[in-house]
Amino acid sequence: MKHLLAAAMLAATLGVGFVRSAIVTAQAPEPKVILITFDGARTEEIFGGLDVDVLTSTLSEGKKLDDNDTYKRFWAETPEARREKLMPFFWGVLMRQHGSIAGNPRAGSAVTLTNTHRFSYPGYAEVLLGEAHDAEIKSNDPLRNPYVTVLEEVQSRLKLTKAQVAAFTSWSVFNAIVEHQEGSVTVNAGFAPFDSPDPLIQELGRLQRETVTPWSSVRHDIYTFRFAMDHLQRAKPRMLYLALGETDDWAHDGRYDRVLDAYERSDAYLRQLWTWIESEPTYRGQTHILITTDHGRGHTPKDWRDHGAKVEGAQDVWIALVSPGMTRRGEWQQQPPLRTNQIAATLAGWMGIDWRALRPSAGGPISAN
């Protein structure tokens, strides 16, 4: 306190800016964690952008690839150029300058699920628990998670408020997935109302119910993202989970054009999120981000729409990491495989919690140095 008083006296002669910077530098950095998932995002699109075989298979009879709008927007000669066209911020900035990504088979890297179901609830549960529970977690029905998640454990162990650990998700079933004990963290899932003092966000809260999707339990990702950003800026949570859904839902519907649109939009959300983090002194240099998916899907034009226990390829996933403590950049090359059951321990570790001390059968944290 004494040195701040001295700083204040000095500031009387030097100007108020000095006091502000003295106070800011006196604050210890406090880790923040952001988990982001793109539902059912295949390694093909993440690492290679437009899959021309899949796009071709969706063209109606007599239509030419060269005349197709999606082809014109996203085609390039190499996988590296195609993925950067699809996700320019993720590949051109985030993975180049700030983080790394595992799971590209062409680079000798793999990430696989440990659960054998290969659909959403078991995938998200594996992410949030650090282990598969195949016998108990085996449907997408909105059944309460039988285990305490990493979000809840961080909230209670660090004695955080409900607002400080928050999940914003496009799919309503996350109400059941993210919490074992209902009401322990903030959850805004599906078409749930969202309160904000901002009139624009209030208007979005109304519009989400009018701009219907083809799916009864999934809203458009834009609402999920905007509500998450509003909460981030207002409540400054220590742990935020953003779960986007459209990469999966359009794929089930066979709309490959809209699948690629969803990747492009998700990339723009990442850019907005990162821009805010960099502009915010309490987040810049203290925020750990993990981006992944709940499952893959089939590798071929015959089964790219599907996933599940019987679909080869649905076990193949990927994990991107952006952390102040990690020096690796770009793609993981020739590395031992990672598994989705390592994510919970990684997130907990960033918050100073040893997840395997709590769950000895969970996967261990990922070290990327």
Q: Which stretch binds Zn ion (CB under 5 A): 92-100, 242-250, 262-270, 320-328?
A: 242-250
- Cβ-based nearer residue to Zn ion, 40 or 99: 40
Q: List binders of Zn ion among 10-69 (CB under 5 A).
A: 40
Q: What are phi and psi of 333, to 5 degrees?
A: -120, 130
Minimum distance from CB of 298 to Zn ion (Å)?
A: 11
Minimum distance from CB of 39 to Zn ion (Å)?
A: 6
When CB distances to Zn ion are compared, the closest residue is 248
- Cβ-based nearer residue to Zn ion, 79 or 308: 308
Q: Which stretch binds Zn ion (CB under 5 A): 30-38, 240-248, 257-265, 361-369?
A: 240-248
- Cβ-based nearer residue to Zn ion, 68 or 217: 217
Q: List binders of Zn ion among 176-235 (CB under 5 A).
A: none
Distances (CA, A) of 148 to 100, 175, 295, 329: 29, 13, 21, 33
The closest of 163, 183, 74, 173 to 123, measured between CA atoms, is 173
Q: Is 111 helix (H, G, I), strand (E, B) or coil?
A: strand
DSSP secondary structure code for residue 366 in this structure = P
Minimum distance from CB of 172 to Zn ion (Å)?
A: 14
Of 179, 248, 294, 316, the one binding Zn ion (CB under 5 A) is 248
- Cβ-based nearer residue to Zn ion, 80 or 257: 257
Distances (CA, A) of 52 to 92, 191, 266, 301: 22, 34, 21, 9
- Cβ-based nearer residue to Zn ion, 40 or 130: 40
Which runs of consecutive H residues, i.e. helices, occur in the chain?
Answer: 2-14, 16-26, 43-48, 52-58, 69-74, 79-86, 88-89, 120-129, 150-157, 174-177, 199-210, 221-235, 246-252, 256-279, 343-350, 355-358
User: Side chain identity at 262, as an amino acid letter?
Assistant: A
Using CB under 5 A as the binding criterion, the count of chain residues that bind Zn ion stands at 2
Minimum distance from CB of 173 to Zn ion (Å)?
A: 11
Binding site for Zn ion (CB under 5 A): 40, 248
